[in-house]
Structure 1
Amino acid sequence: MESSSSKAPRLVNWTGYLSLAMLLILPVSVLAARTGAWQPALLIYAIAILGSTLLLVVAIVLLVMPRMAAWRTNITLNMLFSFPGTLLFITMLNAGDYPTIHDITTDTDEPPLFVMAEQARGPDSNTLAIKPDSILQQRDAYPELSGLESSLAPSAAFDRALVVVRELEWEIYHEDRGAGIIEAVDTTSFMAFKDDVVIRIRPLPGGSLLDLRSVSRVGKGDIGANAKRINAFIAAFPGS
């Protein structure tokens, strides 16, 4: 005859099964996003991290229940399965309060225009049309974001911009020195989302003015990614 402690209750077992399932779903969602199926991938990802968090709460409740004392080792193992998804959920909550926009520029009065991005992005991507409501939200969220004034002549600034783009590991797909335009795409490391960037270089007395625009191909909000990308370029560009 089995002892009462030899077989864990169904609730303990199913908490473990589901926690392991949520853990395995996480890399599946990332792989799905990398293949381009970003909408179902984000849904699966959201289910996995939320499910992991709820299962961790259930495990904690079970852990403190006296009648579950015999199976605390099992419950603790279940909690370990839930930790990665829960940490990702907490990270998402702590990402900050960002506006639901995905088009950011240093020049909100006359944003730089893309030349070749429409072809590179594909028909299912976000529009590149300027949206007045997005401009207003950006001005409230990023009032400090502005163009980069450089002491470099436009041609030298163009060369330096190319160097910085390559240092940041953006993929250049269009450059026009005469027009002062560089277009590139940046691929995020985790979900492999692609965001397009255009750099516009104009002459100034004694130097040049660089303006940037960064636009996500998919999603409504960018959790601040486009502004961070622009700031990374500005920080890496000398002679400002």
Structure 2
Amino acid sequence: MSETPSAWIRWPGYIAWFFLAILAISVLVVRSGNWQQGLLLYAIAGLLSALVLAFMAVQSLLPRWRGARMTILKRALPALPGAALLLMATQARDVPPIHDIATDLVDPPVFEEVLRLRGNNSNPLELTEDVVEQQLAAYPDLQTLESPRSYASSYNLALTTARDLGWEIVREDANAGYIEAVDTTAIMQFKDDVVIRVQTNAEGSLIDLRSVSRVGVSDLGANAKRIRSFIAAFKASAEG
């Protein structure tokens, strides 16, 4: 019959499970629409999970608990998700506190159909000078995508690319050259809005994107990442 672990081993493990449950509850709170309260709960659960994980990691290294090292590490596993998510959020703090990213900052693509979906409590869609300056400093690589393909070919490929990325298309207007879509994040179910504009030029066509978060001050780099993913996928398909 195996020996029951010491309370010094059991209780940190129980606490790790408790904070994992709080983490799951915080996601449900965010999905219910109470995103500010949910994110606060999410941050607290992540921070405390990291502390529990650190405590149990140090505990496993102490000579007193050498024989129970594997038991301690196994009981620490529930603290890993919260600690990992906290680490990801900490790494993203280097990005600017903005949530509206565009490849054309002089004449950014405009939303039309998305306007009725955003709701009264969504972030404003005005690109301020301060936001433009922060984007230029943080994401200088985000530029208008130039393609030698014809207008029609670029528009169709842009539409296909958006669908392949899993975006929900809410507007297709080939005559105006606009595509509007909604991208829902996997965990928190945040809805971010995207508009794609395709124009013709002497060499082929120009594709611009704008990606905007509906809520929150900082997007933690998500919108820039989304635009980069689209550009990479578009280029890969165009060259394939």
Tell me the TM-score range normalised by the shorter chain: 0.7 to 0.9
Rounded Cα–Cα distance in structure 2 between residues aligned with 1:52 and 1:213: 36
Q: CA RMSD in A?
A: 2.5
Match for residue 157 of structure 1 among 146, 154, 157:
154
Q: Which runs of 5+ in 2 are unaligned?
A: none
Q: Please say which structure displays the higher CA radius of gyration.
A: 1
Tell me what 1:232 maps to: 229
Of 157-166 and 14-23, deviating more is: 14-23
Match for residue 203 of structure 1 among 176, 188, 200:
200
| Alpha-carbon offset, residue 158 of structure 1 | 1.7
| Alpha-carbon offset, residue 22 of structure 1 | 0.4
Tell me what 2:124 maps to: 127
Answering whether residue 57 of structure 2 is matched by residue 49 of structure 1, we say no
Aligned partner of residue 21 in structure 1, secondary structure? helix
**2:89/2:220 contact within 8 Å kept:** no
Aligned partner of residue 12 in structure 2, secondary structure? helix
Rounded Cα–Cα distance in structure 2 between residues aligned with 1:77 and 1:16: 9
Using the size of structure 1 for normalisation, the TM-score is 0.86
The 1:47/1:178 distance shift into structure 2, 3 A limit, reads same
Query: Which residue type is aligned with residue 153 of structure 1?
Result: S
Query: Which residue type is aligned with residue 154 of structure 1?
Result: Y
Match for residue 30 of structure 2 among 30, 33, 36:
33
Rounded Cα–Cα distance in structure 1 between residues aligned with 2:28 and 2:138: 32
The 1:33/1:148 distance shift into structure 2, 3 A limit, reads same
Query: Which residue type is aligned with residue 101 of structure 2?
Result: I
Answering whether residue 77 of structure 2 is matched by residue 89 of structure 1, we say no
Percent of pairs with identical residues:
47
Match for residue 187 of structure 2 among 180, 190, 200:
190
Rounded Cα–Cα distance in structure 2 between residues aligned with 1:111 and 1:228: 18
Query: How many residues of Structure 1 are paired with residues of Structure 2 in the alignment?
Result: 235
Using the size of structure 2 for normalisation, the TM-score is 0.86
The 1:76/1:181 distance shift into structure 2, 3 A limit, reads closer
The 1:64/1:157 distance shift into structure 2, 3 A limit, reads closer
| Alpha-carbon offset, residue 46 of structure 1 | 0.8
Map Cα deviations across residues 133-190 of structure 1 (whole Å, 9 max, x no partner).
1110000011121101122222332222111111111111112222211110111122
Rounded Cα–Cα distance in structure 1 between residues aligned with 2:200 and 2:70: 68
